[in-house]
Structure 1
Amino acid sequence: MRLTAALLYWIFLSASVSVAEERTLTMVADKWCPFNCSDTPDHRGILVERAATALAGEGIRINYIEMPWSRAIVGVREGTYDAIVGTGRTETPDFHFPAQPLATARHSFFTLASASWQYDGLESLEEVRIGVIQDYSYGGLYEAYIEPHQGDIDRLAILRGDRVLPRLVRMLKLGRIDALVAEERVLDYYFISRGLVNPLRHAGLAGTEPLYVAFSPALDDGRALAESLDRGVASLHQAPGEHHR
């Protein structure tokens, strides 16, 4: 009897541990390589892989799904998905954030090579029509300029949906906008992945922004998951031979 009870307890305990170890979180974002991608299971982007590696030590696996950015925000906010990848604190202020970001974005203005316009503060934007992606913060540019002028089509072209960056590049080449705003590495990756060197001209830095994986406010353990990510990242930093930027 005692042996049977002990065996049943051991089986129950093992099953409980197994369930905890097998937890899988679904993270979402738009295509924003090299930070987050869905090209192959082995190439999910810098942020997705860093988060996956950090959380693996906490017994958590990652499933990553690509979708338009605005839909990703809504889906995570409502609890349909567990976390969003590559967000800033101003984009999703109600989400559960870890203390440490996983990378830093550099949002910049780009024009055709033949252009001479240069970003020199918000007043200089009166001279151009810029193209942006809906619900991107761009390191504070959204609050300072995009939101106050979002109804002015002479100043802004705000695009949404899938594969927005290629559409912005096309609009720039066709002369429908004078400049676009993009993260520098993301824009470079877009051209490199097509076997090209970025032909666009850097026209000034709009702002820098810490990038996070943030968890749904609808999750009861959203705060605990953010803390788990912090612990996992700290463990990676402490591992012998590991070097992180």
Structure 2
Amino acid sequence: MTRLLILLLLFASSFHGRTQPTDNLPSQLTLAATDWCPFSCSPSGSPQRPGIISEYLSQILKQHNITLNIKFLPWSRALVEANNGTVDGLLTVVPEETGHLLMPKTATANYTDCFFVRPDENWRYRDSASLKQVKIAYVQDYGYNEPLHSHIHDPGNAARLFEVSGADPSRRMVRLVQAGRADALIEEQLVAAWAQKQATKKLYQPTQLKPAGCLNSNPFYLAISPDLPASKALIQLFDRVLQQPESLKLLEKITQSYIAD
């Protein structure tokens, strides 16, 4: 009887280890991000509100005794630092941007990229053919959905594209469209709405751009460097936790707080 009890305990211990692969997790995690408010907001731009995803993942990781640190960089540099192991990974990313980084199978949230034009512009996005009718401002190294991804990477469309890089690319794209140097810009719809709302609050000159159609909504993820010793355990943790109903309710609650702000 004693021998049987010991075997049962050993089996239970082994099973527990396979279903809860969160041993040896780090006490801190540093992820690179770009200023993509309201998803991720740099302290210089929004010191009181760190962003939907920043708050969301910080609260989730805190439940597992992990402190989330976010390093804000221009997007191209964030990709480089994550891929060379200078930081532990990326706060938000789509599969086209990951390089050799590891992503959970479970998405963090969804995003929708939309086109914006001047009020007097009649163009509206309908399909891939319509993209050839205007000059589009976009952010360097961002992963866009189809058909825009293929449009950007087609050398034959270079004259109809305006690539923006560096800090605060959203505001630069707005200025390009306002000045007529580009006909349309592509931006995530919540990001565009947030920028317009903050400009109005701070009495900035309103952007005066109107929506002109959207690409399909798609998921985005976080990414972890494979050089991090606990990378596989972290990926397993996120795959398990991000799909839990309580996590989805938390994300919705935080998102609504930003929309209502």
State the TM-score bracket (shorter-chain normalisation).
0.7 to 0.9
In structure 1, the residue matched to 2:230 is 221
* 1:38 and 2:38 aligned: no
Distance 1:42 1:217 in 2: 32
In structure 2, the residue matched to 1:115 is 121
8 A Cα contact 2:117 2:209, kept in partner: yes
* 1:53 and 2:59 aligned: yes
Distance 2:80 2:227 in 1: 11
- Mean Cα deviation higher: 91-100 or 169-178: 91-100
Distance 1:176 1:207 in 2: 26
TM-score by length of 2: 0.78
8 A Cα contact 1:58 1:232, kept in partner: no
Alpha-carbon displacement from aligned partner over 1:216-235 (angstroms, at most 9, x marks no partner)? 13223222212222333345
* 1:156 and 2:161 aligned: yes
In structure 1, the residue matched to 2:7 is none
In structure 2, the residue matched to 1:11 is none
In structure 2, the residue matched to 1:8 is none
8 A Cα contact 1:55 1:229, kept in partner: no
Assess, with a 3 A threshold, how the Cα gap between structure 1 residues 203 and 58 changes in structure 2: closer, same or farther.
same
In structure 1, the residue matched to 2:4 is none
In structure 1, the residue matched to 2:187 is 182
Distance 2:170 2:31 in 1: 21
Which of residues 68, 78, 82 in structure 2 aligns to 1:76?
82
Give the deviation of 1:142 after TM superposition.
5.1
TM-score by length of 1: 0.83
Q: How many residues align?
A: 223
In structure 1, the residue matched to 2:13 is none
Distance 2:221 2:91 in 1: 6
* 1:231 and 2:240 aligned: yes
- Mean Cα deviation higher: 63-72 or 138-147: 138-147
Q: What secondary structure does 1:193 align onto? A: helix
* 1:99 and 2:98 aligned: no
Give the deviation of 1:155 after TM superposition.
0.8
Q: What secondary structure does 1:177 align onto? A: coil
Distance 1:244 1:80 in 2: 28
- Kindly provide the amino acid, as one letter, of the partner of residue 233 in structure 1: L
In structure 1, the residue matched to 2:131 is 125
Give the deviation of 1:124 after TM superposition.
1.0
Assess, with a 3 A threshold, how the Cα gap between structure 1 residues 198 and 177 changes in structure 2: closer, same or farther.
closer
Assess, with a 3 A threshold, how the Cα gap between structure 1 residues 234 and 56 changes in structure 2: closer, same or farther.
farther
* 1:26 and 2:35 aligned: no
Distance 1:55 1:41 in 2: 21
Give the deviation of 1:238 after TM superposition.
3.7
Query: Over the residues paired in the alignment, what is the CA RMSD in angstroms?
Result: 2.3
Distance 2:165 2:249 in 1: 38
Q: What secondary structure does 2:146 align onto? A: helix
What are structure 1's unaligned runs of at least 5 residues? Answer: 1-19
Distance 1:59 1:74 in 2: 28
Distance 2:230 2:25 in 1: 16
8 A Cα contact 1:51 1:213, kept in partner: no
8 A Cα contact 1:137 1:143, kept in partner: yes
Alpha-carbon displacement from aligned partner over 1:91-113 (angstroms, at most 9, x marks no partner)? 11522112221211100111011
